[in-house]
Amino acid sequence: MRLNEEQKQILDGEKGKILQQAMIDLVNYGTAMGAEEFVPITSAHISFWGISKVARCFPPRCRELTEKDIADFKESISSVRVKPITTINPGLVDLEKWREMGSTEATYNAAMETVEVARKCGILSTFSCIPYLVGNSPTMGEHCSWCETSAIIYCNSILGARTNRESHETSLYSALLGITPKYGMHFDENRKGTHLIDVQCEIENLSDWGALGYFTGYKVGVGIPVFANLKRPIVEELMQLGAAINVPGSTAMYHIPGVTPEAPTIEAAFGTNTPKQTYVFDEAAKREVYEYLNYEPEGKVDLVFLGCPHATLYQIRDICRMIEGKRVAKGTRLWIMTSHSIRASADRLGYGQIIKDSGSELYVDGCLLMPFIYTPAKRPKMDRVATDSVKQAFSVRRSYGSKMFFGDTERCIEIAIKGGV
Ligand code: F3S
């Protein structure tokens, strides 16, 4: 890769060991991907929880880290400042209600240590997978380095900003250096449609948008889908669509002609590409996705989980309309996940109290999948789980072996009140 003078100095170690190692790894990564140079970035979204985990992004990598290794790393990284606006994906625990979530004091302390180091580095501890709604919202054409598949696809498709599908490591290196290898989604020609998805059925609610996303990701894989005959969506629907595409698929972008910024028309969406294939999403295809994601759905439900990706204030308002004046059944939990800034707004608007009065929980800073996999948190009973999110329906079953109900938000709330399907 061609490096400028400053980048060469960093590579030679003149700006310290952390930046030198970040540059070594980013050069290796860029070389492997065929990049010839770096491009400056204005936005990063990273995974930054647990200093011992962050430390593993740097050498020594071939042995367990000692306490001294981690203490030394903490001191070194605390002296570095990130270059672009940098936010953090969900962590492991609600920083206020960690006890209620079944987490341990050690996990909470580790999370607070991360927040302290992040603050010194200039990283915003948003702990949310919807960075674009909590302060990190790049505009058309900005180059970025984001991790989190559901956020990456939103960044490219809806914001028109440009990021490849970055890992925990590469997004952190890019945040520290303010650059990313210029390849893939940073070039116009790689942002054009490759497959057409012809929507021939009603898309009525959030879970339908998720079902369409699952179908699309399964069919298109790493391609860029272009949707035809799709009604105008709202933000929450786009969030479900993008998150679900990347459950079976691995794509960084889609186009909806007349809606997404790089596709004023279907011709503009494809550019000089001819669609490799057209897939029809009809009632039968939709039913097939529901049948696949519903796995022994009938019976008592232990946990109803909403807020994947994190719930917006608008979703919380809708959930409150459905649950106000009612109670979640004994033996069933209703968990809604969001960001701490959205919970603060929800509390202020009275939604927090409605949720509390119903016996539900509005948790923040985390994600249902991670705490029980990566920490000794006490897992709630999850023999059968209900959700309106494709990503959760797929991942909870795979991670925990739960029986699953997948369906509309309203139906999920009815299940929480009744206690089962
Ligand atoms: Fe967000 Fe976790 Fe879902 S990171 S997209 S709530 S799986």
> What tens digit of pLDDT does each residue of 123-159 get?
999 999 999 999 999 999 999 999 999 999 999 999 9
Name the residue with the closest Cα to ligand 1, atom 1.
309
Give the ligand 1 atom nearest the CA of 129. 1
Ligand 1 center to residue 265 CA distance, Å? 31
The answer on 217 and 163 residing in a single domain is no
Question: What separation in Å is there between the alpha carbon of 129 and the centre of ligand 1?
Answer: 6
How far, in Å, are 84, 148, 240 from residue 121 at the CA level?
11, 21, 32
Q: Which domain holds residue 320?
A: 294-418
Q: Is the domain of 13 the same as that of 147?
A: yes
189-247: pLDDT as tens digits = 999 999 999 999 999 999 999 999 999 999 999 999 999 999 999 999 999 999 999 99
Domain of 124, CATH number, reads 3.30.499
Pocket test for ligand 1, best of 310, 388, 396 (most atoms within 8 A of CB): 310
Query: Which residue of 391, 395, 398 sits with most ligand 1 atoms within 8 Å of its CB, as the best mutation to test the pocket?
Result: 391
In ligand 1, the atom with minimum distance to the C-alpha of 89 is: 4
255 and 311 inside one domain: no
CATH code assigned at 383: 3.30.499.10
Q: Return mean pLDDT, the chain.
A: 96
Q: What is the pLDDT of residue 380?
A: 86
In this prediction the pTM is 0.96
pLDDT grade for 384, boundaries at 50, 70 and 90: very high
Domain end: 125, 155, 188, which one? Answer: 188
Among residues 40, 57, 33, the alpha carbon closest in space to that of 6 is found at: 40
Residues 275 and 327 in one domain: no
Does 154 share its domain with 199? no
Residue 110 alpha carbon to ligand 1 centre in Å? 21
Q: Which of 258, 291, 324 is the last residue of a domain?
A: 291
**Residues 159 and 33 grouped into a single domain:** yes
Residues with beta carbon inside 6 Å of ligand 1? 89-90, 129, 150, 243, 308-310, 337, 367, 369, 391
Domain count for the chain, please give it: 3
Return the sign of the alpha-carbon dihedral for residues 352, 98, 85, 189.
negative
Atom 5 of ligand 1 has which residue's CA nearest to it? 309
- Per-residue pLDDT tens digits for 70-93: 999 999 999 999 999 999 999 989
Average pLDDT (50-63) is 90
Last residue of a domain, one of 155, 188, 221: 188
29 and 102, same domain (yes or no): yes
Q: How far is ligand 1, taken at its centre, from the CA of residue 19, in Å? A: 30
Q: Are residues 324 and 392 in the same domain?
A: yes
Kindly state whether residues 351 and 387 are assigned to the same domain: yes
Q: What is the pLDDT of residues 277-322, one digit of tens each?
A: 999 999 999 999 999 999 999 999 999 999 999 999 999 999 999 9
Residue 378 shares a structural domain with residue 365: yes
Q: Are residues 171 and 248 in the same domain?
A: no
In the reported structure, the alpha carbon of residue 83 is separated from the centroid of ligand 1 by a whole-number distance in angstroms of: 26
270 and 326 co-located in one domain: no
Residue 229: its pLDDT value, please? 97
